[in-house]
Structure 1
């Protein structure tokens, strides 16, 4: 008589369920898309640990600009979102050392004007174009390198790593980064000024008597020349006077 297969089937189902749960626990889940139009602040709020970045997005009104672009155009966007720990690790006074316009550029430096998936970073052309400004002049360079599935970011000031994908769809991607991306134009070393040329010393007139032997320099001080002319004139006048007196004496 055949033995019932139900206990064996139950064991296989239990093992499969256990393996599925283990794999799911190791895969980071994306933040669910909020209901309604795309909203960057709601996406970050659902993901958690982005309180400081959300405040800066709102204060600079970059959040409104991003939402308008996503909901009223087909333009793709990519955002690198620093965590609260990334802002905590900044040197004290870093954000207070820049004005409101520079704070805007700092936030825009975290926004790419195109959609990049994780695989597209492997073939991206550096420097990536951000919304902060012209990267061709070296003011806002943002370069990425990949090593396997890891994406590294360099700005000329800091080196950061993409730690996780927070949100992605066909138009928009948000990635968690472990450092605040500080642009070179705002936080780089000040340019070194070129040294001023040494002042040239004026050439001095050299008297003929002071010139070294064999020298071809015959420059004579003008004051000496005037003195020689005066003494010559006085000598001529004396000779004329003596000649006149001698002729007068002979006449008498």
Structure 2
């Protein structure tokens, strides 16, 4: 019978000892060895997303003029809730009534563009759980600036109280940013709704009236008017005839005395 130079029990003990001695070293090398970094995701660029759509020139210009575009980029880097943007097409702006944009001052244009930005990320699925009214980035001390969102299986509609439009195309949808194309400019009720009638101005205090000069006839008292009757009145003619008759009789009496 042949015998192995290394009996099996001794071989097992040797392997176990070797494993015990080398395991801590392997663990240490695994912890200290550098891990190859994965690919860095490209930063989100709203302008690039809109340029790719090739029909949002006016909206891009307003984002730049109002500096809302810079605000959106900053929030994307610091927001935990994300953002949702409704991007009106160039045709949507062309269909506005003439003078609509020029009739807004600088602050109102900022509010109009911020009205197209929701302060959280909405996918088509999460639109179904949105609680109306939905606040926009324009909401603040100048007004509520909210929209109503209705969702069905394959359709999402956005209503402002002035106009309503369906959400047509998904330009980008990956947290933290969703960009949707719309065929109408969303007109906030706070800017384009009927204005309350202006309050009537309070009447000015009237100045005291100056006394007007009266004619002598107007200054005469009623008593004077009675004691000086007009010759045209009946009482005046009676007094005149009595005086004439008395004067005639006095003359005849004097003539008789002379005779």
Q: Does 1:52 align with 2:58?
A: yes
Q: TM-score, normalised by structure 1?
A: 0.60
Q: Tell me what 2:147 maps to.
A: 142
Runs of 4+ off more than 2 Å: 71-75, 192-196
CA shift, 1:148, in A, is 2.5
CA contact (8 A) 1:69 1:75 kept: no
Gaps of 5+ in 1: 1-34, 197-252
CA shift, 1:48, in A, is 1.3
Q: Does 1:192 align with 2:197?
A: yes
CA shift, 1:68, in A, is 1.2
RMSD: 2.2
State which of 181, 184, 189 in structure 2 corresponds to 1:179: 184
Query: SS of the counterpart of 1:119?
Result: helix
Distance (whole Å) between structure 2 residues aligned to residue 73 and residue 186 of structure 1:
28
Query: SS of the counterpart of 1:161?
Result: strand
Which structure has the larger Rg? 2
Q: Tell me what 1:124 maps to.
A: 130
> For this pair of structures, how many residues does the alignment match?
162
CA contact (8 A) 2:169 2:182 kept: yes
Equivalent residues in 2 for 1:19-168, closer than 5 Å:
36-134=42-140, 139-168=144-173
Gaps of 5+ in 2: 1-40, 202-259
Summarize deviations over 1:103-135 as a string: whole Å, max 9, x none.
000000000000001011112101111110149
CA shift, 1:139, in A, is 4.3
CA shift, 1:45, in A, is 0.3
Q: TM-score, normalised by structure 2?
A: 0.58
